[in-house]
Structure 1
Amino acid sequence: MGRDEDEREDGEAKPEDEPGTGVVLAFGRQLKLLRTQAGLERTEFGKRTGYAAQSIASFEQGRRIPPPKFIECADDVLGAGGVLNVLKEEVVRAQYPAFFRDMARLEAEAVTLHVYATQAVPGLLQTEDYARSVFGMRRPLLDEDTVEQRVTARLTRQAIFSRTPMPTLSFVIEESVLRRPVGGRTVLQGQLEQIMLHGHRRNVELQVMPTDRSEHCGLAGPFTLIENRDGRRMAYVEVQRDSRLHTDRTAVREIEEQYGILRAQALTPGESLAFVEELLGAE
């Protein structure tokens, strides 16, 4: 009793994302130092940045990972001169599960990205409601803060669609994925509408793999093909929260061959959009 909120709460909890502890705690300590040097209580600082004092406390203690907009605003409000902004990229990476962090960086820098999805709508295409449903159903259960953190991170990745120069993106999605009512029928309808919107982008090609196809070369599972600015090609494979990034040219070429055949076996982009539109009409 008698301690202020800084003394009472600091050090009493670790971040939910243990692998991100170092950079998240370093950011939090720097944030608190700058705030106290500026003579601002958490409540006043929260008002200026648009966050509750409780959220500021969580950021300072490393229990929550601050979003990029908060970091930019905090740097400005505190007159930090870029001290906080310089940590933004590493803090943003800490939003992702440890196994996905390298892939998130590669994805953000990709000039070409090809995705084959078998279980759920690809993260780059997900609506906020669909993403929240996906993370909410995860087992073992994720706590609410972690769910919100993962949803924010997933939506942040979608900045790739508005990037300049535009990357080339393609998706092959199993029909069963588009019929599975993750989050309920209303959520699925919103998700299908978003797929339609992305499917009409000039730099996006979307194809559906019908369930009734007798020939299917992708039965080994989902993957993502990446090409960076230097022309380097990689393949990312993930299953059960375990992942592997293939850089060996032979291994990558084999997966590229699979993807090429998958695209030939699937519906064309035009047929696929018509198929999604038909599903929407049935909802």
Structure 2
Amino acid sequence: MGVFAMVGRQLKLLRERAGLSQPEFGALVGYGPDQISAMERGVRTPRPDFLVKADPILNADGILIAVIPEVEDAMRRARTRHPEWYRGQAEMEKEAEELHFYANQAVPGLLQTADYARAVFAKRRPFLSEETIEKRVADRLSRQQVLERWPAPIVSYVLEEVMLDRPIGGKRAHADQLGHLLTVGDRQNIEIQVMPTKVEEHPSLGSSFNLLVPKGHEQVAYLEAQGHPQLIIHRDDVRKIADRYGIMRAMALTPKESRALIVEKLEKL
């Protein structure tokens, strides 16, 4: 289990032992309930100053303070965990004002559950070691903090319907992943749309891609094929990709229709 997941479980147990709900505990430490939930799930880093403040509130008797060195070490390792080629993209993603994703093979990383991510990495060829798989899962979950920050970025997804039918990780992991899409899609700043498989025309039959608006900069595009990343910054090239994305959003199911489709598929499992 990763350090953040371990501390998250401790937080949840201590909070419940103290008889506090997530909103009640959040009010006492100056965090929103969504942020508390994210820390308890291990997808948001518990800052050392937060742990110092939370320890007496939860009557932890120094337990939370004692793990601060491990948390700080994990934070340092997380900052250098990304492969060299990805670090520029990772930094832009953390500070982006807008994030837009088109995915046609698997659920994008920021939406993945731990079990789904683990299944993705476990079946990658050539095979990865167990240690590498766990590190990459932890890295993927740590990236999801971008969805928890404030001010919240504007986020949208167009997902090909086939991804809702592909049971990566098995039936249980697949069901949990579909449920997670519903939970994330309920957030005010996030819209998830499904592109139906039955559409007869498609404006972008190439690879998946991301569009980002970095803080203080113009929109850029990022795509990756067979492990080869490409960051696109030329204005005309970015505009072409953005145009395709806009057409796909118009052709896809609305967020409400997409949610209904996900619910329908989940109920059939």
Q: Tell me which interval the TM-score lies in, with the shorter structure as reference length.
A: 0.7 to 0.9
Aligned equivalent of 1:142: 128
Aligned equivalent of 1:112: 98
Aligned equivalent of 2:3: none
Question: Which whole-Å deviations, capped at 9, do the CAs of 1:89-134 have from their partners, x for residues lacking one?
Answer: 6x32332233322111111111100000011001000001000000
Could you tell me which amino acid in structure 2 is paired with residue 172 of structure 1?
V
Aligned equivalent of 2:267: 281
Q: Aligned partners of 2:67 and 2:206: how far apart in 1?
A: 52
The answer on whether the counterparts of 1:172 and 1:207 sit within 8 Å (CA) in structure 2 is yes
Q: Displacement, 1:178?
A: 1.1
Could you tell me which amino acid in structure 1 is paired with residue 267 of structure 2?
G
Quick check: 94-103 or 169-178, which moved more? 94-103
Could you tell me which amino acid in structure 2 is paired with residue 163 of structure 1?
R
Aligned equivalent of 2:151: 165
What is the TM-score normalised by the length of structure 1?
0.69
Aligned equivalent of 1:127: 113
Q: Aligned partners of 2:215 and 2:47: how far apart in 1?
A: 30
Question: Which whole-Å deviations, capped at 9, do the CAs of 1:6-45 have from their partners, x for residues lacking one?
Answer: xxxxxxxxxxxxxxxxxxxxxxxxxxxxxxxxxxxxxxxx
The answer on whether the counterparts of 2:193 and 2:253 sit within 8 Å (CA) in structure 1 is yes
Report whether the alignment pairs 1:230 with 2:192. no
Aligned equivalent of 2:80: 94
The correspondence of residues 1-283 of structure 1 with structure 2, limited to 5 A, is 88=75, 91-283=77-269
Q: Aligned partners of 1:196 and 1:212: how far apart in 2?
A: 22
Consecutive unaligned residues of structure 2, counting only runs of 5 or more, are 1-5, 8-43, 52-64
Q: CA RMSD in A?
A: 2.8
Question: Which whole-Å deviations, capped at 9, do the CAs of 1:134-156 have from their partners, x for residues lacking one?
Answer: 00111100001100000000000
What is the TM-score normalised by the length of structure 2?
0.73
Q: Aligned partners of 1:215 and 1:264: how far apart in 2?
A: 12
The answer on whether the counterparts of 2:45 and 2:142 sit within 8 Å (CA) in structure 1 is no
% same residue: 42
Q: Secondary structure at the match of 2:230?
A: strand
The answer on whether the counterparts of 1:234 and 1:246 sit within 8 Å (CA) in structure 2 is yes
Q: Secondary structure at the match of 2:126?
A: coil
Could you tell me which amino acid in structure 2 is paired with residue 251 of structure 1?
D
Q: Displacement, 1:160?
A: 1.4
Hey, which bits of structure 1, 4+ residues long, moved more than 3 A?
67-73, 76-80, 84-89
